């Protein structure tokens, strides 16, 4: 893994746009997320999602940084506290290392936002569906995210999950998907106005795409956007992976996340970062092989 540099960032916002793939992203008018203002890095993420709700190897563990195979259950519905069934050894999450460093952790919107930081028992601030927040209301998500940022002082990690795009996609509402994507861009603009761009890192990601023509999830890649004052212009990150979000957050705070895989995308965006192998996929595959080699053998499905 990449060794963390000294802390560069006071606050990180991870804004998860449920159901927004690169096709949905380009349908709407999104000047803020697309980086027309500069200070933005954009990549195309491979999410490797399987299903939703109760899922194996999706955003649930990818973004929290364990690199583990887990079954993640919706907080507040299927389970309380730590919402995981591990298929291997439990690992340290981004929420764990933030708590150990006395960095307040908040989750806003869809209950799945709590999964990213390791569960509701890792939260200092909870403004989720289980708390009465409407995850489909862009105004509410923006308002609660900004309030959580203000309450986290002087440092903080806020994970917000907006469900508007996914909801419209499941209804087969193409116009609704476009409208929800454009509302997302306005929401990002509001959040940026409430933060110090030099001391805050805003990461916009998605767990999977939702096709409004079929009303179902798809395997289309998703956008991954980083916004910070130190990013010059509009940087193309190329092919990235949601696995790399956790190490990016940890490194921005100057923290270590031993089980994390991938690259520090923020360092890549502001100064360039090279693997010895020179290739992202080679490095990730090597790390995954090393991880699997240390895992206990699993029972066979059949003899």
Ordered per-residue pLDDT tens for the chain, 303 residues: 444 455 589 999 999 999 999 999 999 999 999 987 789 999 998 765 444 443 444 444 445 555 555 566 667 666 666 666 655 566 678 888 999 999 999 999 998 888 888 788 889 999 999 999 999 999 999 999 999 999 998 999 999 999 999 999 999 999 999 999 999 999 999 999 999 989 999 999 998 889 999 999 888 889 999 999 999 888 988 888 887 888 899 999 999 887 777 788 999 899 865 444 345 566 666 666 776 676 666 555 555
- CA dihedral for 239, 244, 245, 249, sign (positive or negative): negative
Residue 117 has a pLDDT of 84
Q: pTM of the prediction?
A: 0.84
- Looking at the DSSP bridge assignments, the partners of residue 43 are 224, 238
Greatest alpha-carbon pair distance for the chain in Å reads: 59
pLDDT at 17: 94
- Which residues pair with residue 224 across a beta bridge? 43
Residues near 95 by beta carbon (within 8 Å), at least 6 away in sequence = 64, 105, 116, 117, 118, 119, 122, 157
Between CA 197 and CA 23 the distance in angstroms is 28
**Predicted pLDDT of residue 288:** 64
Retrieve residue 259's tokens. Answer: 């089980």
- DSSP 8-class letter at 2: P
Mention every residue, 6+ apart, whose C-beta is less than 8 A from residue 32. 185, 186, 188, 189, 192
- 297 half-sphere exposure, CB direction, 13 A CA radius: 3
Per-residue confidence (pLDDT) for residue 98, from 0 to 100: 93
Q: What CATH fold (topology level) applies to the domain 11-293?
A: Alkaline Phosphatase, subunit A (3.40.720)
Spell out the domain ranges in the chain. 11-293
144 CB neighbour count, 10 Å cutoff:
23
Q: What is the structure's pLDDT at 8?
A: 81
For position 243, what pLDDT does the model report?
A: 78
Alpha helices in 9-134 (DSSP H): 22-27, 31-34, 59-62, 94-100, 113-116
In this predicted structure, what is the pLDDT of residue 253? 95
The whole-number pLDDT of residue 185 equals 97
The answer to whether 111 and 130 are in contact (CB under 8 A) is yes
184, 189, 193, 199 alpha-carbon torsion, rounded to 10°: 80
pLDDT for residue 56: 40
């Amino acid at each position: 893994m990449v060794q963390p540099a000294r802390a560069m960032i006071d606050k990180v916002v991870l804004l998860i746009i449920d159901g927004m793939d690169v096709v949905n992203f380009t349908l709407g008018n999104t000047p803020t997320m697309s980086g027309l203002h500069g200070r933005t890095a954009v990549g195309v993420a491979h999410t490797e999602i399987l299903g939703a709700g109760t899922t194996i190897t999706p955003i649930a563990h990818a973004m929290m940084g364990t690199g583990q195979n887990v079954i993640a259950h919706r907080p507040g519905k299927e389970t309380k506290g730590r919402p995981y069934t591990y298929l291997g050894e439990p690992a340290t999450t981004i929420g764990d290392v933030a708590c150990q460093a006395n960095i307040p952790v908040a989750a806003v919107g869809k209950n799945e936002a709590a999964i990213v930081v390791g569960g509701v028992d890792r939260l200092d601030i909870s403004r989720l569906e289980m708390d009465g927040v409407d995850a489909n209301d862009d105004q509410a998500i923006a308002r609660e995210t900004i309030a959580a940022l203000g309450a986290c002082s002087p440092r903080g990690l806020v994970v917000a999950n907006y469900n508007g795009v996914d909801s419209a996609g499941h209804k087969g509402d193409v116009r609704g998907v476009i409208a929800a994507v454009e509302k997302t861009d306005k929401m990002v603009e509001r959040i940026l106005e409430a933060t110090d761009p030099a001391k805050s890192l805003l990461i916009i990601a998605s767990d999977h795409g939702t096709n409004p023509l079929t009303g179902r999830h798809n395997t289309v890649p998703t956008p991954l956007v980083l916004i910070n004052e130190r990013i010059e212009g509009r940087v193309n990150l190329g092919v990235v992976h949601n696995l790399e979000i956790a190490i990016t957050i940890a490194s921005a705070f100057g923290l270590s996340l031993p089980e994390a895989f991938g690259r520090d995308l923020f360092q890549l965006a502001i100064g360039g970062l090279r693997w010895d192998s020179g290739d992202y996929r080679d490095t990730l595959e090597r790390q995954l092989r090393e991880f699997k080699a240390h895992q206990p053998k699993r029972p066979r499905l059949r003899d």
